[in-house]
Amino acid sequence: MSEDLPQSLPWSRIEVAVNPDHTDPAGRAALHELRAVGLKARDVRVHRVFFLQGTNDPAPLLELLVDPVSETGRAGEPVPGTGRAVSVCKRPGVMDPSEASILRALRSRGVTAERAVTGRTYWIDADADDAALLDAVGRCLANEVIEEMGAGPVPSPRDLPHGHGSDMIPEVPLIGLSDDELRAISKRYVLALNAGEMRNVREHFATLERTPRLGELETIAQTWSEHCKHKTLTSPIEYVEEGRTEAIGNLLKETVFGATTKLDKDWCVSVFKDNAGIVRFDDEHDICFKVETHNHPSAIEPYGGAGTGIGGVIRDILGTGLAARPVANTDVFCFGDLDTKKVPKGALHPLRVMKGVVAGVRDYGNRMGIPTVNGAVCFDERYTGNPIVYCGTVGILPRGRSEKAAQPGDRILAVGGRTGRDGVHGATFSSETLHDESDEVSGGAVQIGNPIEEKRVLDSLLRASERDLFTAVTDCGAGGFSSAVGEMAEHCGADVQLDQAPLKYAGLNPVEIWISEAQERMVLSVPPKHESEILALFAAEDVEATVIGTFTDTGQLVVRHGDQTIVDLSMEFLHNGLPKTPRRAEWTQPAVEPEAPASDDLAAELERVLRHGDVCSKEWIVRQYDHEVQAGSAIKPLVGPEGRGPGDASIVAPVLGSHRGAVIANGITPRYGDLDPYNMAMCAVDEAIRNAVAVGADPENIAILDNFSWGDCNNPEVLGAMVRAARGCHDAALLFSAPFISGKDSLNNEFHGEHGRIRIPHTLLISALGQIDDVTTAVTSDLKRAGSKLVLVGETFCEMGGALYGGGKGKTPAVRESAPAVMRAVASAIRSGAVLSCHDLSDGGLAAAAAEMAIAGNFGVRIDPSAIPVGEEMGRLDHRLFSESATRFLLEVEDVPQLDVPHAVIGEVTEDGTIDFGDALQLSLESARSAFFHWEDTLR
């Protein structure tokens, strides 16, 4: 782009400020953040600064960059502010999405500029010196992983970074090296391969009688990464439970996949082989769903990490079948406690992580025009250094478009963003644990996304698909071109000419080009007869598309840069040469501890539960997401007359003009995981299905996804917990007849800090994709009218283990054989039209569920705890109110419908503004609301 520009080419500088007579909302927001980190500031104003290289006429710049109604701009000099200035701008080479837009707008005015760089200045009115201001800004407004800051006005931009320089790729001799030496090589080149894997590589090249090239080692490392191959969960495991030893050949195949194979549903179209699982939707469409994790990048740079997480899973959907159209997003997060004072060195405060993650999902998802309709947030102090970020996308595609295969002779077409150094080694980085220097050494793995680039790719790719111009497509995700091309060419072969790939800037060496994970790129296989048509189509939409090679029938992956061969590997070795590393797993079920004594103030306990982060209103998050774009929103994430109640699941009708709905729900229960990972998994599946059924989904047609976020599975106990959870997934899928269609695991979620390692709780997200024939038969959880009856369906047990109430001691909730019958009974009651509202019972049990329905509908409830159907002797009222037993629903009805499962009328809806459980608990609706909505007062 600009590599040949003389360094002396001057920069024009434009500074823009909101006029003093208008409020500056960005300044007010910054003021709030600075005060929150302890800076006693009186006022903050934010000025935007633009640098343009290659033009020196300020008039068109001012006209473009300054709003004539509300802003003031100056060319060449700062706009004076009050107090002291701290400036922030992106580090050279970090994506600045606005650059292309600014250059384009100037071109339409006939002005040609070469580069545009943006920055911002905070004018802070406070009694503090520069050092204190820089410290405060660094803690809440700038992230030095991607940004630079300094006192005073924004300095002129520096030149773009250059790569490692040499184009010559070395060979790496392995012959005769010991295991320790092989490990040292793996570490030196960030390959994340163990000694056994390195030995296989050494032997392969010994057979070929040559020395491996670094490019070949990198390609193998990317392809064999945990991220791409799930190698831990597919390895042979020696599993010891309660003294018994058994051999597991392939955990994933025997549990999650195994259940799907046994269920053999005819509505499953493509499972566990494409980027996303695909099921039938209607006569003309299939529907697909994928959920990904993006944990480690989000720990270091929450905004960029979460944004590129959602960007990546959207590309997964674009690369499913012959391209699916994304129709809904879902996001589930786990953070440390928001009010914690204990943040280890090298970790960001959980509040900052949450704000950054939410903003990242918001700015990427909203710009993509995909509604974010569902989510959850869980809190535990062990997530502080290692937050969990799950991003999921649902897509729709015409039937008959789910199979793809690149053909020999097809062109390899790289589409979308250019390749830069950003994201080199992301796949291998994600497979390592985090430590307190991660933010220094891994900066290259953190990126900022450019959603508009991806939106252009989406628009044009779907048009190319409608015209049937390509034979296969996949996204450039982990491993970049190396994984995308390697995967598409697995059954044929490929010749790649890397010097054809468009670059963001000069100086990348060929291996960097090959493995860069720069965002917003897709790879297509295009028959030669369609080449000119597809190139014209992309050009018309301003999308860069470049042929970088050809698919072959040689079975070899050959990559060249100029005359130099970078990679010449057999597909057979690349895809099947990974040795199975035997692993050990152990599990000892912890003894059940007796429950805590009863609290003497259950109303205060309910208030505490409603305030808990896992339960309280997420309105602050939900409203920042566009949850209605695409005009398919039938049941929204927030329900009730004020649009503030928590919904169980969302429904979108993805085909314009049709009433058929996709139901999107999730289940996540990490609080049970320490005590019993098997029950945790069963409960997560139960919760996901329960949430879908609660709004009207057909329980016979629900597909589910598994996402494991686990600690270091080299620890046998950690892997043992995984075995238990995977078996829970298997049994639950069979019980509910709900097949898994896709899944993902993220291992090594541990933070190594100054006080040792902190392992996250075993965290399993189950995502559910249900269906409903007619969205106008759905129900919501807000209470509808005074005088109607409340029916509790399903039995309550004394299951306080992991519960929010009472310290979590006791048995964990179990999912019983009767569970599917309960789901069917509730679904049938909803279909009959007899149900006014329905809510599932989960965190906080009956008390929390009843309170949420009351808050959502703005009514009171009167409930008789003695009427609750129990499955065992339950003498204690607190247990009846707060037990988190699975498979239970609270229905509001006028007349009790036919229900052939345990149920009882336990109370009624009132107008007296009280959550009334008789003598056991009385809480005013007002108090319940202020506890439930407390984020609205504390977050901004």
Partner 1 sequence: MSVPVLVLRAAGTNCDRETAHAFATAGGTPESRHVNELLAEPQLLARYRVLAVPGGFSYGDDIAAGRVLATELKEKVLPELERFVTDGGSVLGICNGFQVLVKMGLLPGPTSDGQTVTLSHNDSDRYEDRWVDMETPESVSKFVTAGDDFFFPIAHAEGKFIASDETLDALEKNKQVVFRYRNEGRSRNPNGSLRDIAGICDATGRVLGLMPHPERHLEPWHHPYWTRAGLANEADGLKLFRAMVAAAE
- Stretch in the footprint of partner 1 (CB under 8 A) among 20-28, 425-433, 594-602, 697-705: 20-28
Beta carbons of 852 and 932 less than 8 angstroms apart: yes
372-400 as b/e: b if 16+ CB within 10 A: bbbbbbbbbebbbbbbbbbbbbbbbbeee
CB of 613 to partner 1, least distance (A): 20
- Stretch in the footprint of partner 1 (CB under 8 A) among 297-305, 362-370, 812-820, 920-928: 362-370
- Ordered DSSP codes for 447-515: ----HHHHHHHHHHHHHHHHTT--SEEEE--TTHHHHHHHHHTTTS-EEEEGGGS-BSSS---HHHHHH
Sequence-distant (≥ 6) Cβ neighbours of residue 561 within 8 angstroms: 167, 169, 497, 498, 499, 510, 513
Instruction: Report the alpha-carbon distance of residue 770 to residue 783 in Å, rounded.
Output: 24
36 scored as a contact of partner 1 (CB under 8 A): no
Closer to partner 1 by Cβ: residue 109 or 158: 109
| The 922-924 sheet, strands edge to edge | 835-840, 889-893, 789-793, 903-910, 860-863, 914-916, 922-924
109 scored as a contact of partner 1 (CB under 8 A): yes
860 scored as a contact of partner 1 (CB under 8 A): no
CA atoms within 13 A on the CB side of 190: 17
452 scored as a contact of partner 1 (CB under 8 A): yes
Q: Please count the residues of the chain.
A: 940
Closer to partner 1 by Cβ: residue 205 or 625: 625
773 scored as a contact of partner 1 (CB under 8 A): no
CB of 889 to partner 1, least distance (A): 16
- Stretch in the footprint of partner 1 (CB under 8 A) among 406-414, 449-457, 471-479, 525-533: 449-457
Closer to partner 1 by Cβ: residue 201 or 855: 855
737 scored as a contact of partner 1 (CB under 8 A): no
Binders of partner 1 among residues 814 to 853 (CB under 8 A) are 837
CB of 837 to partner 1, least distance (A): 8
926 scored as a contact of partner 1 (CB under 8 A): no
Instruction: Report the alpha-carbon distance of residue 494 to residue 16 in Å, rounded.
Output: 51
64 scored as a contact of partner 1 (CB under 8 A): yes
639 scored as a contact of partner 1 (CB under 8 A): yes
Beta carbons of 775 and 740 less than 8 angstroms apart: no
CB atoms within 10 A of CB 242: 8
Beta carbons of 573 and 557 less than 8 angstroms apart: no
Sign of the torsion formed by the C-alpha atoms of 437, 443, 448 and 454: negative
- Choose which of 1, 2, 5, 28 interacts with partner 1 (CB under 8 A): 28
- Choose which of 86, 89, 102, 791 interacts with partner 1 (CB under 8 A): 102
307 scored as a contact of partner 1 (CB under 8 A): no
623 scored as a contact of partner 1 (CB under 8 A): yes
Closer to partner 1 by Cβ: residue 290 or 784: 784
User: Both tokens of residue 937?
Assistant: 């007062």
Closer to partner 1 by Cβ: residue 367 or 880: 367
Beta carbons of 725 and 677 less than 8 angstroms apart: yes
In 3D, which of 49, 53, 50 has the Cα closest to residue 11?
Answer: 53
Q: Is 631 strand, coil or helix? A: coil
367 scored as a contact of partner 1 (CB under 8 A): yes
In degrees and rounded to multiples of 5, residue 308 shows phi and psi of -75, -25
101 scored as a contact of partner 1 (CB under 8 A): yes
**Three-class SS string for 519-572?**
CCEEEEEECHHHHHHHHHHHHHCCCCEEEEEEECCCCEEEEEECCEEEEEEEHH
- Choose which of 206, 540, 786, 867 interacts with partner 1 (CB under 8 A): 540
654 scored as a contact of partner 1 (CB under 8 A): no
In 3D, which of 156, 186, 35, 177 has the Cα closest to residue 87?
Answer: 156
In 3D, which of 692, 626, 623 has the Cα closest to residue 662?
Answer: 692
Active-site residue flag, 730: no
Burial bucket for residue 609 (CB in 10 Å: 0-12, 13-18, 19+):
buried
88 scored as a contact of partner 1 (CB under 8 A): no
Sequence-distant (≥ 6) Cβ neighbours of residue 790 within 8 angstroms: 850, 861, 863, 890, 891, 892, 905, 906, 907, 908, 909
111 scored as a contact of partner 1 (CB under 8 A): no
In 3D, which of 627, 599, 617 has the Cα closest to residue 939?
Answer: 617
Closer to partner 1 by Cβ: residue 50 or 429: 50
CB of 623 to partner 1, least distance (A): 5
**Number of residues counted as binding partner 1 (CB under 8 A):** 68
Burial bucket for residue 734 (CB in 10 Å: 0-12, 13-18, 19+):
middle
CB of 155 to partner 1, least distance (A): 21
Closer to partner 1 by Cβ: residue 306 or 368: 368
Q: Is 749 strand, coil or helix? A: coil
- What binding mask, one character per residue, do residues 262-301 give for partner 1 by CB under 8 A, x or -? ----------------------------------------
- Ordered DSSP codes for 919-939: TS-EEEHHHHHHHHTHHHHH-
Active-site residue flag, 491: no
CB of 643 to partner 1, least distance (A): 5
- Stretch in the footprint of partner 1 (CB under 8 A) among 394-402, 410-418, 450-458, 683-691: 450-458
- Stretch in the footprint of partner 1 (CB under 8 A) among 148-156, 361-369, 383-391, 567-575: 361-369
DSSP category for residue 37: T
- Stretch in the footprint of partner 1 (CB under 8 A) among 95-103, 256-264, 408-416, 912-920: 95-103
- Stretch in the footprint of partner 1 (CB under 8 A) among 226-234, 534-542, 729-737, 901-909: 534-542
375 scored as a contact of partner 1 (CB under 8 A): no
- Choose which of 7, 8, 23, 178 interacts with partner 1 (CB under 8 A): 23
25 scored as a contact of partner 1 (CB under 8 A): yes
CB atoms within 10 A of CB 628: 12
Closer to partner 1 by Cβ: residue 522 or 569: 522
Beta carbons of 631 and 341 less than 8 angstroms apart: no
**Three-class SS string for 70-83?**
CEEEEECCCCCCCC
Binders of partner 1 among residues 776 to 805 (CB under 8 A) are 776, 778-780, 782, 784
- Stretch in the footprint of partner 1 (CB under 8 A) among 25-33, 179-187, 248-256, 581-589: 25-33
Instruction: Report the alpha-carbon distance of residue 447 to residue 440 in Å, rounded.
Output: 14
Instruction: Kindly name the residue from 227, 730, 762, 839 that is annotated as catalytic.
Output: 227
- Ordered DSSP codes for 357-373: HHHHHHHHHHHHT--EE
Closer to partner 1 by Cβ: residue 462 or 598: 462
660 scored as a contact of partner 1 (CB under 8 A): no
In degrees and rounded to multiples of 5, residue 826 shows phi and psi of -70, -45
Q: To 10 degrees, what angle do helices 302-318 and 350-368 make?
A: 40
Closer to partner 1 by Cβ: residue 649 or 778: 778
CB atoms within 10 A of CB 482: 31
694 scored as a contact of partner 1 (CB under 8 A): no
Closer to partner 1 by Cβ: residue 32 or 265: 32
Instruction: Kindly name the residue from 204, 230, 294, 879 that is annotated as catalytic.
Output: 294
- Choose which of 641, 787, 807, 833 interacts with partner 1 (CB under 8 A): 641
449 scored as a contact of partner 1 (CB under 8 A): no
165 scored as a contact of partner 1 (CB under 8 A): no
Under the rule (CB under 8 A), what is the footprint of partner 1?
Answer: 18, 22-23, 25-26, 28-29, 64-65, 67-70, 97-98, 101-102, 104-105, 108-109, 362, 366-369, 450-452, 455-456, 459, 540-542, 622-631, 633-636, 638-643, 656-657, 659, 775-776, 778-780, 782, 784, 837, 857, 940
Instruction: Report the catalytic residues.
Output: 227, 294
